[in-house]
Amino acid sequence: MTTLTESLLVHASRNLPRYTSYPTALAFQSAPDDALTRGWLDAIQPTDAVSIYVHVPFCERLCWYCGCHTSVPNGYDRIADFLGHLRSELDLWSDAMPPHAGAAHVHFGGGSPNSLSGEDFSSLLASISRRFSLRPGAEVAVELDPGNLDGDFARGLGAAGVTRASLGVQTFDPDVQRLVNRIQPFERVEAAVADIRCGGVKAINFDMMYGLPGQNPDNVADSLRTALSLAPDRVALFGYAHVPWMKKHQAMIRPEDLADVAGRWGQAEAAEAVLLDHGYIRIGMDHFAHPGDPMAARLANGGLRRNFQGYTDDPAAVLIGLGPSAISAFPQGFSQNASRVDHWAAAVKRHQLPVSRQLATTRDDRLRGAVIERLMCSLEVDVASVCAEHGYAPSTLDDELQSARTLRVDGLCAVSGRRISVSPELSRLVRVVAACFDPQASRPSARHSLAI
Ligand code: SF4
């Protein structure tokens, strides 16, 4: 257990990016240049593997805490319409790409990919496999809402080609579930896990949360213990971000039901203690993995990466995002699809890549991004080595290193020469150290989540 000192409380109260990219998506600019994205696609080499992300922007019902781009479709017509446009978008991107080494990772997120029918999901995955030449042994991961998971859909995932299922569990406490409009009894999650495993998908992730209304260290720890009785391979532990000025439905959550920063700290500590007691290995700031999981191996060999889906063992440098709001990442920059389904669909109908925001990264961005990614993944970085890899002098980021040195007194990190390390017990605050290398981080933004 780490005591929350006054100085740690100050750091934990900061609003900071989650650094799933650097620069962050807030820096992307509207009025994108189609030729720029197409130039980045043209630069893909025949030996480059690519990754695919598919955003399904629908859910059966809206959870009050949700921060995703999603809506309730009220019938299957909107979903069928979306699927038609998604298939056209698949063709647009794949036609614009030169020969490549195939897709090593496919990730379905949302929203809830299980808002599609089982037949439509299988057929969509088959189309993606064909258009992007799925590599043998590729990981195909899908995020699922277990509260609305049809048994046939779950049992068909393995045959469709899915290799990893990620279930939004969040909490098992019935009072908390009621406060966030997500009624999901243990038996339902248990049945979902059994159906998924029975269908041949062996790798299971759970998303769990703290900081939700009505949560306290005891009920968070109880939920974790109950979750671990189902033996997930990975657990992601997220803190709820209350931003009702950005996500209107969060106004359904009463601020008086939310813990303060010290309370959130206690909940995170309680959850982590359960995970570590059960033998899970800490991955970065908020993930935990069974020692036999590939992510634990990636952490050990220094190959862990961070992208828009969070921590990943996917080494591909190119990520193609399909569907509304999805972000594509290239070595040269980022392109984000239009977030509104109608705007996205209209662009696809015009046979245009549906990109609405974009950012061409500079050499300086890529250097800072590499330092931040190393810190976020390995909790340590040799800044001089990263500078050398990017063709910069070892002293290039010495001012930023000096900022990191000021955090030593609070116990947040150790700095030796140009090497920084964050203690695993404080990994949940690694963003504070990473922010030393982000010139924008000194301008607080209410659009970022609390550091804890
Ligand atoms: S199921 Fe997931 S994506 Fe859908 S509303 Fe709930 S939290 Fe959001």
Give the residue, by CA position, lying nearest to ligand 1 atom 2: 111
Tell me if 145 CB under 6 Å of ligand 1: yes
Q: Which residues 6+ apart lie within 8 Å of 447 measured at CB?
A: 15, 26, 243, 246
Q: So what's the pLDDT on residue 157?
A: 98
Q: So what's the pLDDT on residue 445?
A: 64
Q: How far apart are the C-alpha atoms of 415 and 422, rounded to whole Å? A: 9
Q: How far apart are the C-alpha atoms of 385 and 404, rounded to whole Å? A: 17
Q: So what's the pLDDT on residue 446?
A: 62
Give the residue, by CA position, lying nearest to ligand 1 atom 5: 62
Q: So what's the pLDDT on residue 443?
A: 67
H-only helix segments in 306-425 = 341-349, 363-378, 383-389, 398-406
H/E element holding 282? strand 281-283
Tell me if 111 CB under 6 Å of ligand 1: yes
Tokens standing for residue 358:
């974009």
Give the residue, by CA position, lying nearest to ligand 1 atom 7: 66
Q: Which neighbouring-strand residues pair with 39? A: none
Phi first, then psi: what are they for 363, rounded to 5°?
-60, -40
Q: DSSP letter string over 139-207? A: EEEEEE-GGG--HHHHHHHHHHT--EEEEEEE---HHHHHHTT----HHHHHHHHHHHHHTT--EEEEE
Q: How many residues does the chain have?
A: 452
Domains in the chain and their CATH numbers?
1-20+363-452 (1.10.10.920), 24-322 (3.80.30.20)
Q: Are 322 and 52 in contact (CB under 8 A)?
A: yes
Q: What is the pLDDT along the chain (452 residues), one digit of tens a residue?
A: 788 899 999 999 998 999 999 999 999 999 889 999 999 999 999 999 999 999 999 999 999 999 999 999 999 999 999 999 999 999 999 999 999 999 999 999 999 999 999 999 999 999 999 999 999 999 999 999 999 999 999 999 999 999 999 999 999 999 999 999 999 999 999 999 999 999 999 999 999 999 999 999 999 999 999 999 999 999 999 999 999 988 999 999 999 999 999 999 999 999 999 999 999 999 999 999 999 999 999 999 989 999 988 999 888 999 999 999 999 999 999 999 999 999 999 999 999 999 999 999 999 999 999 999 999 999 999 999 999 999 999 999 999 999 999 999 889 999 999 999 999 999 999 999 999 999 988 766 666 778 88
Tell me if 253 CB under 6 Å of ligand 1: no
Neighbours of 443 (CB within 10 A): 6
- Going from the Cα of 184 to the center of ligand 1, the distance in angstroms, rounded, reads 12
User: In 25-183, at which residue ranges do the beta strands (DSSP E only) sit?
Assistant: 29-30, 50-56, 103-110, 134-144, 164-170
Q: So what's the pLDDT on residue 32?
A: 87
H/E element holding 264? helix 261-277
Q: Are 447 and 246 in contact (CB under 8 A)?
A: yes
Q: How far apart are the C-alpha atoms of 328 and 132, rounded to whole Å? A: 15
Among 139, 218, 204, 119, residue whose Cα is nearest residue 171: 218
Phi first, then psi: what are they for 326, rounded to 5°?
-65, 145
Which ligand 1 atom sits closest to the C-alpha of 59? Answer: 4
Tell me if 143 CB under 6 Å of ligand 1: no
Q: So what's the pLDDT on residue 444?
A: 62
Q: Are 120 and 83 in contact (CB under 8 A)?
A: yes
Q: Which residues 6+ apart lie within 8 Å of 428 measured at CB?
A: 268, 272, 285, 286, 451, 452
Crossing angle of helices 151-160 and 118-131, in 10° steps, is: 20
**Which residue do the tokens 């759970």 mark?**
206
Q: Which residues 6+ apart lie within 8 Å of 244 measured at CB?
A: 250, 251, 253
Tell me if 209 CB under 6 Å of ligand 1: no
> Helix (H, G, I), strand (E, B), or coil: what is residue 226?
helix
